[in-house]
Amino acid sequence: MEAATRILEERGESALTTNRIAERAGVSIGTLYQYFPDKQAILVEIGRRENERMVVLAAELMAAGVSAPRARIRAYVGALADRRATRRAVLKAMLESQPPDVLWPAGTEAVEAFVMSRAVIGAVRSAVLEGSPYLREPAFEEALVTLVGALQATR
């Protein structure tokens, strides 16, 4: 995972290949393929691990008194913030392979919860994919929290 991340950050997404990842990680390409069928699977695994980290961070924030919506938004917006090229590549890979159940898992949720979660996820995805400078601004988090509050108030 670290090898892929370093390649992305140093050389960009176009330079990411399974051969380069294996070389950078110091393993044979055959060994790499025993664990991952392609670079897409590696990116999705990076995303899965980051999602786990986000869940833990959101729980820690809530335990410290941060509201649940703000804690989830802060964890989501901050995901891989220090690794912008990785975040963009991982997000693209996850969009292609998984449903958007990061902040509020799909299931037996109300229509309002579905709309709220997808509005937040959509805004963050757009900011990541567009390389928006807003991701680093506290005002972005605040705008998302305000959106959630407005949607919750309509219930």
Burial 1-34 (b: 16+ CB within 10 A, else e): eebbbbbbeeeeeeebebebbbeebeeeeeebee
Fold exhibited by the domain 2-153 = Tetracycline Repressor; domain 2 (1.10.357)
Which pLDDT does position 81 carry in this prediction?
A: 76
Which pLDDT does position 105 carry in this prediction?
A: 52
Q: Tell me which residue of 50, 58, 138 sits closest to 91, measured CA to CA.
A: 50
CB atoms within 10 A of CB 144: 23
- The tally of CA atoms less than 13 A away on the side-chain side of residue 20 is 16
Report d(CA 20, CA 119) in Å as an integer.
37
Which pLDDT does position 103 carry in this prediction?
A: 44
pLDDT in tens, 105-135: 555 467 777 778 788 888 888 888 888 888 8
Which pLDDT does position 109 carry in this prediction?
A: 60
Helix axes 84-97, 39-63, angle to 10 degrees: 100
Which pLDDT does position 29 carry in this prediction?
A: 96
Q: Which residue ranges in the chain fall short of pLDDT 70?
A: 98-109, 152-155
Domain ranges of the chain: 2-153
Kindly report the pTM of this predicted structure. Answer: 0.75
